Amino acid sequence: MRSLFISDLHLTPGRPDITRAFLRFLEQDAPTARQLYILGDFFEYWIGDDVMDEFHLQIAGALRRLSEHGVSISFMHGNRDFLVGERFCQLAGCTALPDPSVILLAKEPVVLMHGDSLCTLDTSYIRFRKVVRNPLIQKLFLSFPKRMRRKLADRLREKSMSAAREKTEPSMDVTPEAVTDALTQYQSKTLIHGHTHKPAIHDLEDGQQRIVLGDWDTYGWVLEHNPNGFDLKKFTI
Ligand code: OKV
Ligand code: MN
């Protein structure tokens, strides 16, 4: 009875080392699990399912192989790959998982989120999110020619990279209020999320816990839940 949780791989053709580590994980670790939960920012960027190439098809194929092996795969969007759609999920044998979602682990409710919505002090990002998550604006963006989408996305990412350096650390992390609100709303003691790139298991008041997944860069991170509880595993890429 193993469940695995990953997020923030930021897969891109520019990081073949991370892609290889992920494909290795799919072959060596994931097949003996019952479920695999992908909690957002699986891809570094996504501008439409119609822009998939060899790289994306290889990853979708590897995921599909795992799903056909009997592992159920759930895919939650992150703040980068929120445009991943039905076509990719179908190719990859994944089921879309809304943000937030509540699952049962050892009969206990557990809240799953990407984590960006917990960073309630990041006002400039919240503004950006409101625009790009608007269904009408998404429809308009997806109606643009591919080269125009590419150009616009490249420009937005460049702009955001220079802005991120100016941001002070605390505004990027989750706020305790947002965490408490989520746990209260879903009457759960455990919250699992990614996004902040600060992997840890935080024990909170009243037996509550917040588990933060790690981003894949120098190390890869996998959270495992088994009959003994949670285990946040770290390995070199
Ligand atoms: C994803 C982030 C780029 C953060 C644009 C409407 C627009 C969608 C989009 C374009 C960008 C996703 C889809 C990307 C996340 C960035 C920069 C910062 C902080 C529109 C709908 F422009 F028409 F309104 N986009 N891409 N950022 O390159 O994957 O999360 S992206
Ligand atoms: Mn994120």
Is the peptide bond preceding residue 135 cis, with omega within 30 degrees of 0?
A: no
The domain that contains 188 carries what CATH number?
3.60.21.10
Predicted pLDDT of residue 98: 98
CA 192 to each of CA 8, 207, 220: distance values in angstroms, whole numbers, following the listed order: 13, 15, 17
Grade residue 171 by pLDDT with cuts at 50, 70 and 90.
low
- Cβ of 153 closer than 6 Å to ligand 1, yes or no, is yes
Please give the distance, rounded to the nearest whole angstrom, from the Cα atom of residue 202 to the centre of ligand 2: 19
Grade residue 102 by pLDDT with cuts at 50, 70 and 90.
very high
What pTM did the predictor assign?
0.97
Angle at CA 21, nearest 5°, toward 88 and 7? Answer: 55
Q: Please identify, by atom number, the ligand 1 atom nearest to the C-alpha of residue 125.
A: 19
Q: Please identify, by atom number, the ligand 1 atom nearest to the C-alpha of residue 149.
A: 10
Q: Is 197 annotated as a binding residue?
A: yes
ipTM of this predicted structure: 0.99
The whole-number average pLDDT for the span 202-227 is: 98
**Atom 5 of ligand 1 has which residue's CA nearest to it?**
132
Residues 6+ apart with CB under 8 A from 126: 120
Residues 6+ apart with CB under 8 A from 109: 102, 103, 186, 187, 188, 189, 190
Predicted pLDDT of residue 161: 86
Q: How far is CA 74 from the centre of its chain?
A: 10
Grade residue 170 by pLDDT with cuts at 50, 70 and 90.
low
- Cβ of 200 closer than 6 Å to ligand 1, yes or no, is no
Asked if pLDDT for residue 167 goes beyond 70, the answer is no
- Cβ of 124 closer than 6 Å to ligand 1, yes or no, is no
Predicted pLDDT of residue 63: 98
Q: Please identify, by atom number, the ligand 1 atom nearest to the C-alpha of residue 79.
A: 30
- Cβ of 144 closer than 6 Å to ligand 1, yes or no, is no
Do 60 and 92 contact (CB within 8 A), yes or no?
Answer: yes
Q: Is 167 annotated as a binding residue?
A: yes
**Residue 174 CB: number of other CB atoms within 10 A?**
25
Please give the distance, rounded to the nearest whole angstrom, from the Cα atom of residue 128 to the centre of ligand 2: 13
What's the whole-number average pLDDT of the chain? 96
- Cβ of 137 closer than 6 Å to ligand 1, yes or no, is yes
Number of domains in the chain: 1
Instruction: Report the distance separating Cα 149 and Cα 132, nearest Å.
Output: 13
Residue 91 belongs to domain spanning: 3-236
Grade residue 128 by pLDDT with cuts at 50, 70 and 90.
very high
Predicted pLDDT of residue 163: 78
